[in-house]
Amino acid sequence: MQRSNATTVFLVIVIGAAAFVWFTSLGLPPRVASHFGAAGLANGFMPRDFYVRFMLGFVVVLPSVLVLLPAAGLRHPRARINLPNRDYWLAPARRTATVVALRAHMAYVGCLLAIFLCYVHWLVVRANALAPPHLSMPWFFGGLAAFAIATVAWALLLIRHFRNVPR
């Protein structure tokens, strides 16, 4: 099956996310504040090298698993796919197009996750530039709210795509 534009966008975002984490981590201190309490004060630390590997894994592996596992599952003809108007969308004449659309939607949610994780990393980098390290909780919760809104919008678009049956 051909690679969709969404998959290409996802690959570019994930590669860019990895580069972002790598290059923005160069200025981190040897002991990185990596966990913060409710007030934004650092309460957990790790060596810089471990933090960088951990965040690279997070921004690459987590979104990739979110995108690749469903894509792999959709390859099987007997895959259990729960959609509105399932019989219409999974009819043999439309199944391939439906799977392509589902893969594209998963690629876009993977992009959202990678971008959000980069944002959190950026906040951690900024927090470590302060003495003592302090995470901006308004910025964190603002980013979390934006991610939640974007995720709800993605879900609504997915449902809307499959809700109506063309006549």
The pLDDT tens digits for 109-167 are 999 999 999 999 999 999 999 999 999 999 999 999 999 999 999 999 998 888 877 76
**C-alpha to C-alpha distances, 36 to 137, 138, 157, nearest whole angstrom:** 9, 13, 34
**C-alpha to C-alpha distances, 137 to 22, 114, 164, nearest whole angstrom:** 24, 20, 41
pLDDT tens per residue, range 62-96? 999 999 988 888 877 777 788 888 888 888 898 88
In sequence order, what are the beta bridge partners of 41?
A: 134
Rounded-to-5 percentages of helix, strand, coil across the chain? 65, 10, 25
Residues 6+ apart with CB under 8 A from 145: none
Specify the pLDDT at position 3. 59
Question: Model-level pTM?
Answer: 0.90
Amino acid letter for position 17: A
